[in-house]
Amino acid sequence: MRKYTLRFYSILFIFFISCHSAPSPTKELGAKEEKVEVFPVTDFLLGQINEIEKMPVTLLKVVSQNGKVDSQWVSRDSIRYFSKPFLSPVIDSVNFGKNYSAHSFLDQTVDAFTFTYDAIKVSADSFPITHLDVYVDPQSRKVKRLYMIKEKIMEGKNNMQQLTWNTEDGFLIRNILSGKSDSIPDIKEVSVKWKF
């Protein structure tokens, strides 16, 4: 008898919850879209730039293009110039939240929590950031690395910029300019280091 009473109350509870739950506005009304929480990448990069500008180091810039490599020492102030293309538009939940999908997982191959954001509804012309990865150290909970892709069509050619930002070490900017599918893309890499 006790077993049936418990079962009866369990069924009654489930029935009560299902009848009185609020409808999902995204599924039934279709008016509101889901908004994802996005890591504030722009604020993070600006914080990194401010720290580096205060460090007593000279930066090493290495440029690689068409099989040629050139390097030179540059001032700390130049880091803001090199990173400028990736500081706009502002990457945060307000700007990114409704136009991007988000996925996260613990990637044991790189020993980091990986947060991935991909554009779902925006064209490369209106909002050029198409992909973003944030890698967080599982022990310290600090960002280890950022990877970002910006794409834009310029004069009939696809211009792709990739940023790989290693928090404690330096960053790499890769520009890939490609025309027709059968043409060889023009690739230019700029690497900036502050830790040797």
* 66 falls within a domain: yes
User: In the predicted model, is pLDDT for residue 184 greater than 90?
Assistant: no
pLDDT score of 3: 40
pTM for the structure as a whole: 0.76
* 20 falls within a domain: no
* 57 falls within a domain: yes
Average pLDDT over residues 150-175: 89
Say which residue, 188 or 14, is predicted with more confidence: 188
* 14 falls within a domain: no
| Pair 164, 143: CB distance under 8 Å | no
* 28 falls within a domain: no
User: In the predicted model, is pLDDT for residue 36 greater than 90?
Assistant: no
* 124 falls within a domain: yes
Q: What's the whole-number average pLDDT of the chain?
A: 80
Q: What is the band of 31 on the pLDDT scale with cuts at 50, 70, 90?
A: very low
pLDDT score of 122: 59
pLDDT score of 33: 56
pLDDT score of 159: 86
Looking at the structure of the chain, the number of domains it has is: 1
* 27 falls within a domain: no
132 burial class (0-12, 13-18, 19+ CB within 10 angstroms)? buried
For the chain, the farthest-separated pair of C-alpha atoms sits apart, in whole angstroms, at 85
Ranges 21-25, 31-35, 116-120, 170-174, most confident? 170-174
pLDDT score of 13: 32
pLDDT score of 113: 92
Q: What is the band of 34 on the pLDDT scale with cuts at 50, 70, 90?
A: low
* 133 falls within a domain: yes
pLDDT score of 30: 45
Instruction: Look up residue 103 and give its two tokens.
Output: 């996925």
135 burial class (0-12, 13-18, 19+ CB within 10 angstroms)? buried
pLDDT score of 143: 95
HSE-CB of 39 using CA atoms within 13 angstroms: 23
Domain residues for 171? 33-193
Average pLDDT over residues 5-31: 36
